[in-house]
Structure 1
Amino acid sequence: MTWSYTDRILLQKVQKFCSFTRRIQNKQITVDSKVVTIPDTELSFWMSRAGTELVYHRLPWREPDAPYLLQVLFEDDYLIALNKPSGLQVLPGGLFQQRTVLTQLQWHVSKLTTSSSGCRKTHPVPVHRLGRGTSGILLCAKTKLAKSRLAAYFAEGTSVVEDKYTNSECKKMRKISKIYRALVSGVIDMDEVLIKQPIGTIKYPGVAKGLYVASPSGKPALSSVHVLERDLENKSTLVQVEIQSGRPHQIRIHLSFIGLPLIGDPLYVSGGQPKCFDPELMDESFEKDGGYQRPENPVPGDCGYNLHAHQIVLIHPITNENRCVNMIARLFSVPLEEETAIGVGTVSSSEAIMLAGLAFKKKRQNKRKAEGKSCDKPIIVTGANAHLLMFSTMERNYFFSI
């Protein structure tokens, strides 16, 4: 890890946010390739010269245990879809540097490359993220062209939401669809809920760039929630969530925002906010090796919640614009359901993206008709009426109702 300072202003920022005492004691700091042995109070003398290079030599530490199993759901010369287990981090960061999806992905692709002659140059990288505690489909690109086009897919989907199109219009314009399944605390009275709640950041201990929460001043976000099963005895609900935008921790925030936090979520509670904490107690202490201590407050990377990336449907970004790829990831501990795990077919319209969602919706409507119930339109939840929904919850002794 290297910092190069060119003026005194940058030094002032370092002195404000970071102390090098422990690292100097461990002889982990060098200035212009020379080990620093003086107190950090005298370090400013060395750093006052423009162009001085300061290097922190991080000592290796034992990474926490993490699952090391990745199932390949789909793979061709351009794409690879993995079934990620809960507990495995996608990209290096924090306490995990080697035990990540990226490390396994690069090893897998390099093994295939060395075993085949004349293979095109690969650049394996995930094109979106899943939380460490989230399981299921993770889509990755094997070439730079595939990466750029898939990134454009996700960007287009988010921009459509920002332009305030209707939900049906968003679906028609999308080239990729991500469907999740989640187990939430509480019983939802409605069969379908559309959540429109912006997501922004707040200062939070242990999260350098800020914690994502439900915020009126945040960026637009849209989630479509369908009830799959209600457990009245245990007061829980299994839901299917299709996200129209891709904000960090969107599902966890949106479901907790309407008073239905994911079961086992250590961080988010009703209202889409974190559990109580004192922002003044920022833990910036150091371990003996000079690395940061693990934050005492819950952080986004903590596991325990029940969220699974169940399905991805997309128009193939390279081979054919009319080639639709449909992938389903089963839970590792659950037998394969009676549905095709992988499907590739030729379609005539981008509306094929909605095939899986439409099939589920039709099945639900047929069930309601058989029960003599009407097929109601989804209730739309925004920041403006969320408090009314929660008040109605307490008034009628339902967890969520209107």
Structure 2
Amino acid sequence: MEKIQFTVKEEENGSRIDKLAAAQDEQFSRTQVQEWLKEGRVLVNDKPVKPNYKAASGDEVVIHIPEPEELQIEAEDLNLDVYYEDADVIVVNKPRGMVVHPAPGHVTGTLVNGLLFHCKDLSGINGVMRPGIVHRIDKDTSGLLMVAKNDLAHEKLVNQLVEKSVTRKYKAIVHGVIQHDFGTIDAPIGRDTKDRQKMAVIDHGKVAVTHFHVIERFHDFTLVECELETGRTHQIRVHMKYIGFPLAGDPKYGPRKTLNIDGQALHAGVLGFVHPRTGEYVEFEAPAPKEFEDLIFELKKNI
């Protein structure tokens, strides 16, 4: 059983223990941590406490993380849009609305279900829940993903992500008219302290860098291309909101009055990396889906 240990800092004195514990990992939700507290999995100075316990500076906290629930992941014929495939790598164009990997309560219709049907040889580094998955894009973001078919390919592709050598370019429609043609957003991202379901730019977040340039301006919107230097959760969505130009249709970070699209207008159109076996740089480009292009067509009519 995995465990996380931390000491309550002076500036955290008086904070609720569930809030402090949830902040230790961006994958934790406050609701989940509250359940662990009720189950006695979170100990303060070797004793279980209630979720509303007010921590004191110097408290020693241990979180005993339960083993993940074993799920039966079944292969499904989802007619995946495969852009490239060989013995080491698959590049897939994921449609908007598809979740990348299964989770409790959501075990069918994911990219992983489709991959298990499409091929039997996927890397096992991430276990049965995420076979072959090297990186993710959000459910309502469409576009290209690379998937590893063996452990050696997986390690080499992950290393490229760590070294920031993978090319990842996204098209996005944002609210507002960006006046400058180019920009770089260098702002750290971490779990939003006010809403654990969101990410935000925070002082002690992880380094996050997004480069963008304007493709076209409309009456109240702008079409941009964003290139990721890092790959934090919701990075483009958080960064564009941070500079005052949230993504159209974004249910988490955008305004309620927006374009007629179900989810953020974001498409991972370009993906490039060094092939893990040949050592050659390969790059792929996928056009934005029809609903994305339809939005642009409507916006052009209102210029």
Q: For residues 106 and 332 of structure 1, do their structure 2 counterparts lie closer, same or farther at Cα, with a shift above 3 Å needed? A: same
Q: String of CA shifts for 1:37-66, please: whole Å, max 9, x gaps.
A: xxxxxxxxxxxxxxxxx9999999xxxxxx
TM-score (norm 1): 0.50
Question: RMSD of the TM alignment (CA)?
Answer: 3.4
Q: For residues 259 and 69 of structure 1, do their structure 2 counterparts lie closer, same or farther at Cα, with a shift above 3 Å needed? A: farther
Partner of 1:201: 191
Which runs of 5 or more residues in structure 1 are unaligned? Answer: 4-12, 20-53, 61-66, 114-120, 158-173, 276-302, 337-402
Residue 331 (str. 1) matches residue 288 (str. 2): yes
Secondary structure (helix, strand or coil) at the match of 1:268 reads coil
Q: String of CA shifts for 1:223-248, please: whole Å, max 9, x gaps.
A: 1101011112xx11110000101111
Q: Distance in 1 between matches of 2:68 and 2:90?
A: 36
Partner of 1:107: 117
Give the AA of the match of 1:191: D
Partner of 2:275: 316
Q: String of CA shifts for 1:77-115, please: whole Å, max 9, x gaps.
A: 1000101011110011243112211111111012xx6xx
Partner of 1:134: 141
Q: Is the 8 A contact 1:184 1:262 kept in 2?
A: yes
Partner of 1:216: 203
Q: String of CA shifts for 1:123-182, please: whole Å, max 9, x gaps.
A: 55121010111100011000100000001111112xxxxxxxxxxxxxxxx2x2111110
Residue 228 (str. 1) matches residue 249 (str. 2): no
Q: Distance in 2 between matches of 1:198 and 1:56?
A: 29
Residue 87 (str. 1) matches residue 77 (str. 2): no
Partner of 1:189: 179
How many corresponding residue pairs?
Answer: 223
Q: Which has the higher helix share?
A: 1
Partner of 2:7: none
| Percent pairwise identity | 34
Q: Tell me the CA shift for residue 17 of structure 1.
A: 3.8
Q: String of CA shifts for 1:158-213, please: whole Å, max 9, x gaps.
A: xxxxxxxxxxxxxxxx2x211111000111101101111110113566x5xx6321
Q: For residues 335 and 133 of structure 1, do their structure 2 counterparts lie closer, same or farther at Cα, with a shift above 3 Å needed? A: closer
Q: For residues 198 and 77 of structure 1, do their structure 2 counterparts lie closer, same or farther at Cα, with a shift above 3 Å needed? A: same
Partner of 2:51: none
Select the structure of larger CA radius of gyration: 1
Which runs of 5 or more residues in structure 2 are unaligned? Answer: 3-33, 41-65, 125-130, 257-261, 294-303
Q: Pick from 127, 132, 155: which aligns with 1:148? A: 155
Q: Distance in 1 between matches of 2:70 and 2:89?
A: 35
Q: What pairs with 1:48-87 in structure 2 (closer than 5 Å)?
A: 68-87=78-97
Q: For residues 59 and 132 of structure 1, do their structure 2 counterparts lie closer, same or farther at Cα, with a shift above 3 Å needed? A: closer
